[in-house]
Amino acid sequence: MGASSIRKESRKRKFGSPKPPSNLAPPEEHKSTTASTPSDNTAPSPVDVKPPVETQLEKPQPSEIKPHRFIVFVGNLPYSATNASIQEHFANLRPTSVRHLHDKTSGKSKGYAFLEFERYDRLKTCLRTFHQSKFDDGISPPRLLNVELT
């Protein structure tokens, strides 16, 4: 056996043979081995009929549909920021909730928050107007905020 035939055999083992084995036929071509009788040609009884399988998922009920949530990430907040100062900075957009994360032990800000809005247009306005805006809480020097879509 030459080197090229060894490589071919190796490729066949690694990648499989290029053609399917000739002794296998596609599922449609398999024939039944039992002899056909005249009773086989009659219509199936109602017991034998299977209902069609649903291919689409069932639509969720209106009570199961979750409402849309419009949330932005606000980063680069000063450690002295509070919920009140963040709420005041974004007051004209009226966020429905402000989730400002704090250190558990010191209670100091972690430097970021999440704002949730009631409507999509307020979220887009927040992204457009408040990204790279100056945040001044009166305690630390003003900083440029990062406002991004979550």
Give me the residues paired with residue 75 across strands.
Answer: 112, 146
61-120 residue pLDDT tens: 666 777 788 999 999 999 999 999 999 999 999 999 999 999 889 888 899 999 999 999
| Interatomic CA distance for residues 100 and 136, integer angstroms | 16
Gyration radius (Cα) of the chain, Å: 33
| Interatomic CA distance for residues 123 and 128, integer angstroms | 9
| Interatomic CA distance for residues 98 and 71, integer angstroms | 10
pTM surpassing 0.75?
no
| Interatomic CA distance for residues 147 and 24, integer angstroms | 60
